Chain A
Amino acid sequence: MTAQPTEIATYNFAYLDEQTKRMIRRAILKGIAIPGYQVPFASREMPMPYGWGTGGVQVTASIIGPDDVLKVIDQGADDTTNAVSIRAFFKKVAKVVVTTDTATATIIQTRHRIPEHPLTAGQVLVFQVPIPEPLRFLEPRETETRKMHALEEYGLMHVKLYEDIARHGRIATTYAYPVKVEGRYVMDPSPTPKFDNPKMHRSPALQLFGAGREKRIYAVPPFTDVVSLDFEDHPFEVQTFDQPCALCGAENVYLDEVILDDHGGHMFVCSDTDHCEKRRADGHHGHLAPETHLASEKTEPAE
Chain B
Amino acid sequence: MDIATQSIDGGFAEPVFNAQAVFRAIMDAMARPGTVQNLPQLARPPAPLSATAGAVALSLCDNDTPVWLDSPLQAEAAVKAWLGFHTGAPSANTPADAHFALIANPKEMAALDGFAQGTQEYPDRSTTLILLVDDLASGPSLLLEGPGIEKTSMIAPPGMPRHFVEQWKQNNQRFPRGVDIILAAPGHLACLPRTTRIKTMEA
Contacts and interface: CB of A to CB of B under 8 A. Distances in A.
Interface string B7-30: 000000001110111011011101
Nearest to B193: A33
Given A22-B62, A223-B149, A34 B128 contact: no
B52 interface: no
Dominant secondary structure of chain A at its interface with chain B: mixed
B26 A18 contact: no
Given A22-B62, A29-B26, A66-B17, A182 B147 contact: yes
Interface string B29-66: 01110000000000000000000000000011110110
Interface string A215-236: 0000101111100000000000
B121 interface: yes
Contact of A223 (B28, B64, B120, B147): B147
Interface residues of B, number: 39
Contact of B27 (A21, A23, A25, A66): A25
Given A33-B194, A37-B176, A224-B148, A147 B121 contact: yes
A121 B150 CA distance: 10
Interface string B118-131: 01111110101000
Contacts of A70: none
A222 B28 CA distance: 10
A12 B28 CA distance: 24
19 contacts: A13-B20, A23-B64, A25-B59, A29-B60, A30-B124, A33-B194, A34-B175, A34-B194, A37-B176, A122-B28, A150-B120, A150-B121, A184-B176, A204-B150, A221-B30, A221-B147, A222-B31, A222-B32, A223-B148
Nearest to A36: B176
A37 B120 contact: no
Contacts of A27: 124
B124 A12 contact: no
The 3 A-B residue pairs with the shortest CB-CB distance in the complex, in nearest-first order? A33-B193, A221-B148, A150-B120
Contacts of A193: none
B23 A63 contact: yes
Interface residues of A, number: 44
A35 interface: yes
Nearest to A64: B20
B195 A33 contact: yes
B31 A25 contact: no
A65 interface: yes
Interface of B: 15-17, 19-21, 23-24, 26-28, 30-32, 59-62, 64-65, 99, 119-124, 126, 128, 147-150, 175-176, 180, 193-195
B19 A21 contact: yes
Interface string A2-21: 00000000001100001101
A184 B65 contact: no
A33 B121 contact: no
B30 A29 contact: yes
Contacts of A39: 124
A34 B27 contact: no
Interface string A96-125: 000000000000000000000000011000
Contacts of A66: 17
Contacts of A184: 175-176
Given A34-B195, A63-B27, A221-B147, A13 B175 contact: no
B62 A25 contact: no
Nearest to B124: A30
A65 B15 contact: no
Given A204-B150, A221-B31, A222-B150, 15 more contacts: A18-B15, A25-B23, A26-B60, A28-B27, A30-B180, A31-B124, A32-B27, A34-B194, A65-B21, A121-B32, A149-B121, A184-B176, A223-B148, A223-B150, A224-B147
Contacts of A19: 62, 64
A151 interface: yes
Contacts of B176: 34, 37, 184-185
